[in-house]
Amino acid sequence: MEDFKNKFKKGDIICSDKFHNGLCMVVDYYKENCYFGPGYSCEDLVQPNQKWNAYVSDLFFNRGKDYNWRIATDSDIAKYLDRYLEINLGKVGNHTAVYKDDGIMLELDYGESVLLSVDALKSLRNIIDKVVE
């Protein structure tokens, strides 16, 4: 536990592939009494006012499973930032098509949307190719 206590300093950007799929967060301070034991108090790298705690291991859902916290690499940060990237691709009929990190989203009426994953887009392309032939 002592090694973990001295592993990071204020301002370090850390991540764990096992904690929210590589979420990146900025270390604020170490505290002995976090909710699930000792750990670092952190803020989300992107979302304002979103706080997280970095514990050595998961003491709640997967008892004792090590999170393997590390300093985030440029690649880790780029992958995390990509989650928030949205590129307007144009219109499909009356609907807006937006690129997101996990596919293309069609924004429908009344605030609803449909997210097509890469696999779904491939299937849709096959259908369109058959219909257009």
pLDDT digits (tens, 9 = 90+) for 20-45: 888 999 999 998 877 777 889 999 99
Q: Hey, which residues does 71 pair with through a beta bridge? A: 14
Same domain, 58 and 117: no
Structure tokens at 75: 């690649």
Domain end marker among 46, 67, 82: 82
Q: DSSP string spanning 48-104? A: TT-EEEEESEESSSSTTEE---EEPPHHHHHHHHHTT--EEEEEETTEEEEEETTEE
Cβ 22 vs Cβ 16: under 8 Å: yes
Same domain, 59 and 116: no
pLDDT at 4: 85
Burial 40-75 (b: 16+ CB within 10 A, else e): bbbebbeeeeeebbbbbbeeeeeeeeebebeebeee
pTM, to two decimals:
0.68
Position with higher pLDDT, 114 vs 62: 114
pLDDT at 128: 92
Cβ 40 vs Cβ 32: under 8 Å: no
Total domains present in the chain:
2
pLDDT at 59: 61
The overall average pLDDT reported for the chain is 87
pLDDT at 27: 97
Same domain, 33 and 67: yes
Q: What is the mean predicted confidence (pLDDT) over 62-79?
A: 85
